[in-house]
């Protein structure tokens, strides 16, 4: 693959790019060539005009802290783009590991998709105490609009809206989670959110088609 197909894809505003990686040979051994090809996508994305990278959790692998740290550092070393690390599912970082990430050149932030406020508060406190600077934190929950006031209370002022991704026509009707750090902002009541958002939480993640939302629209739940 060259950067040309990626550049063409980046010009289509229909969603993010995903580079899945399965760095294992049929016998279960680590396929280093496959892994190196995955890391090479970071360079290709930069050449294609990407503005930054979001490092997703390893697919179907629950890795240890040392492995997660090394994986993120390898990706960051392959590009000069700013890198944000996504914490969720198979990638749950301890405060000590996030301190190490914050000390890594090129890694600029952490996106939290777990909903564990206690862990996030300990992470924010640890990084602030040991790594001066502007390390960024994002509330990455699917319904971030509902939880942003709580996240703002522990110092997480940024969020990404999954509602915007899977119900884009309804997202503009919702208030912003933390506009310019404004105090006193109230989260929208669950009843104001579209039906796909007002779901019962359950383990696992699935992708389903939303009726009446247009062909090809899917939502993670």
pLDDT of 214: 41
Is the pTM value of this prediction over 0.75? no
Strand 107-112, strand 136-139: pairing: parallel
pLDDT by residue, tens only, the chain of 221 residues: 566 676 676 666 554 555 555 566 667 676 777 777 777 878 888 888 888 999 988 777 778 899 899 989 988 998 999 999 999 888 999 999 999 999 999 999 999 999 999 999 999 999 999 998 899 999 998 878 888 889 999 999 998 877 766 666 655 555 554 444 455 455 555 555 555 555 545 555 444 444 444 433 333 33
Q: How many CA atoms lie within 13 A of 149 on its CB side?
A: 9
CA 192 vs CA 90, 105, 188, 209: distances in Å: 32, 42, 6, 21
**Widest pairwise Cα distance in the chain:** 56
pLDDT of 206: 45
Give the integer Cα–Cα distance in Å for 110 and 87: 7
Who contacts 109 (Cβ-Cβ below 8 Å, separation ≥6)?
Answer: 82, 84, 85, 135, 136, 137, 138
């Amino acid at each position: 693959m060259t950067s040309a197909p990626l550049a063409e894809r980046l010009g289509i505003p229909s969603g993010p790019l995903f580079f899945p990686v399965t760095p294992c040979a049929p016998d279960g051994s680590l396929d280093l060539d496959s892994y190196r090809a995955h890391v090479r996508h970071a360079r290709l994305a930069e050449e294609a005009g990407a503005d930054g990278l979001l490092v997703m959790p390893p697919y179907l692998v629950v890795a240890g802290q040392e492995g997660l740290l090394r994986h993120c550092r390898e990706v960051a070393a392959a590009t000069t783009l700013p890198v944000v690390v996504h914490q969720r599912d198979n990638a749950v970082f301890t405060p000590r590991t996030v301190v190490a990430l914050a000390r890594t050149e090129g890694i600029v932030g952490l996106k939290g998709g777990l909903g564990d406020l206690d862990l996030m508060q300990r992470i924010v406190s640890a990084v602030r105490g040991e790594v001066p600077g502007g390390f960024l934190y994002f509330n990455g929950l699917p319904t971030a609009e509902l939880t942003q006031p709580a996240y703002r209370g522990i110092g997480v002022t940024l969020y990404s809206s999954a509602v915007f991704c899977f119900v884009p026509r309804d997202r503009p009707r919702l208030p912003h989670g933390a506009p310019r750090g404004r105090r006193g902002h109230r989260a929208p009541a669950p009843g104001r959110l579209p039906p796909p958002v007002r779901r019962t939480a359950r383990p696992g993640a699935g992708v389903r088609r939303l009726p009446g939302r247009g062909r090809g629209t899917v939502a993670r739940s």
